Structure 1
């Protein structure tokens, strides 16, 4: 098995830059706007001074005392509530994505996932099946869904939050595409039904949170449910031509755990890669941002 540690190459993305990290924060540029956000893994010192950091930022996210995952954006420079960024790689993938500052510090984009958008693009542009079926679970704002659709895939996009699915639709339309199938549902319930129906997919993308809730309050706990979910995905994946991408952000998980989960649930794992996703700031500090496992047979 090939073990890989992946990094986003800044030359592919003029609209994004990780400027500095440290002091449990990160300073990022999205298009022309610079944001300062909490980052629990940035336990080292900042390279820039606190004064320069604050001068550069258009807005800073201030956490609530009783809920570190929620808070308010404090604006120091004029910044719109909504704006767009573009992504284009050398393979011809072009995305136009909509951003907004939310009360949960997210802005609708996980930049480290660009390496997986490239992987989807590279896999599908020469895929031996016309209009391959792709399932994106825990799909958030859908950049991966749009990347798959851009190469002609029949995409099923699932998330449990209706507003996030609406956000994904805007990303599809802004990228000049249509035809994605949108589903608001609990991921586990959906794939159980798909297995019973005998449906299969050529590509499956999983980006589960550590904890979450379905639309009807269904509880998701990564450690307790990811093994069963992968067993079901193994039944949904086309045996002849396929790819699978698994991302996990739990701080207690390693890519070795991901490898054990995949290898114990899938009979055939070809061209496997696993490791850490990370971004590099201007001062060459590497910020780890989750683990991945992916494989494909084309």
Structure 2
């Protein structure tokens, strides 16, 4: 079966811009506001001067010395704590996404994932099913869930953190949608129950972290548990028409590892694509932001 290896970057993101990268940082525009954040993969030099970089930024994230995962935002210019941007999908209304500056440097959005939102919209449109059932695991603030719902799917959205599920609901409502099923649970526990119940889904989206905790302290370690999770997902996927998207951000993983994991656990892998997701800054430097594997069977 032919398999396509790709490097993908979003093509139409008016409300987002990667201005510059380098020095283990990235300078990004989200709507009218510009943020400077740490970026461990940007090991090259910045193209802009330090003075110009700082002059442009509305806020700069400063890491804690003892905990590089946490820190605080230093405001350079007036900026609201919360604001909204839009992503215009190829067909239909725009997705409205609510952003906020958190103490973990994240703001509620991974812009490189827009290529997968387009893929979800296109695939749901091609499925010859009135209301395809989609499961989004490790769903974070729900842009993929909202894209699937905007295409007419019945969506189950699962994340272990109640606050980000609430954030997802806000995104859904801001996008003029309703009807998503919200689950706060440990992903592994949930899909084991779904397999026992005999439930099936036409689409499964997985965006697991390298490390994480469930709502009751359940431990998630990507390299130790992703193989078992994909085995279970293979039992949940409808055999006749389906799609699966797997994203992974671990620096030690390649898309070849993702391909081996998928092919060893799924009997049928049609129209497979895998590779890197990346963004391009204004100086044409490409910033890699994780790997993906996706496949679909549509009529």
Fold-level similarity (TM above 0.5): yes
Contact 2:89 2:95 in 1 (8 A): no
1:261-280 correspondence to structure 2 within 5 Å:
261-280=261-280
List per-residue Cα deviations over 1:160-212 (Å, max 9, x = no partner): 00000000000000000000000000000000000000000000000000000
| Superposed displacement of residue 124, structure 1 | 0.9
Whole-angstrom CA distance in 1 between matches of 2:60 and 2:8: 28
Q: Distance in 2 between matches of 1:89 and 1:24?
A: 31
Aligned to 1:168: 168
* Partner Cα separation in structure 2 for residue 252 and residue 90 of structure 1: 33
Task: Report the equivalent of 1:59.
Answer: 59
Structure 1 residues 25, 15: closer, same or farther in 2, change over 3 A?
same
Q: What is residue 20 of structure 2 aligned with on the other side?
A: 20
Q: Following the alignment from structure 1 to structure 2, what is the Cα–Cα distance between the partners of residues 94 and 51?
A: 36
Deviations 1:86-131 (A, max 9, x none): 0003333520000000000000000000000000011112320011
Cα 1:96–1:240, aligned 2, differ >3 Å: closer, same or farther? same
CA shift, 1:4, in A, is 1.1
Q: Please give the per-residue CA displacement for 1:31-60, whole angstroms capped at 9, x wherever unaligned.
A: 000000000000000000000000000000
Q: Counterpart of 1:114 in 2: which secondary structure? A: helix
What are the equivalent positions in structure 2 for 1:1-298 lying under 5 Å apart?
A: 1-9=3-11, 12-92=12-92, 94-298=94-298
Distance, in Å, in 1 between the alignment partners of 2:154 and 2:123 is: 14
2-side partners of 1:93 and 1:216: how far apart?
38
Once superposed, which parts of structure 1, at least 4 consecutive aligned residues long, lie more than 6 Å away?
none
**Structure 2 Cα separation of the partners of residues 119 and 67 of structure 1:** 36
1:93–1:147 CA contact under 8 A, matched in 2: no
C-alpha separation in 1, matches of 2:178 and 2:125: 18
Matched residues, number: 296
Distance 1:271 1:95 in 2: 27
- Can you list the C-alpha shifts for 1:202-248, whole angstroms capped at 9, x where unaligned? 00000000000000000000000000000000000000000000000
Q: CA RMSD in A?
A: 0.6
Q: Which runs of 5+ in 2 are unaligned?
A: none
If the length of structure 1 is used for normalisation, what is the TM-score?
Answer: 0.99
TM-score (norm 2): 0.98
The CA distance in 2 between the partners of 1:229 and 1:292, in whole Å, is 16
Change beyond 3 A, Cα 1:224–1:193: same
8 Å Cα contact 1:188-1:229 kept in structure 2: yes
Are the equivalent residues in 2 in contact too, given 1:93–1:121 (CA < 8 A)? Answer: no
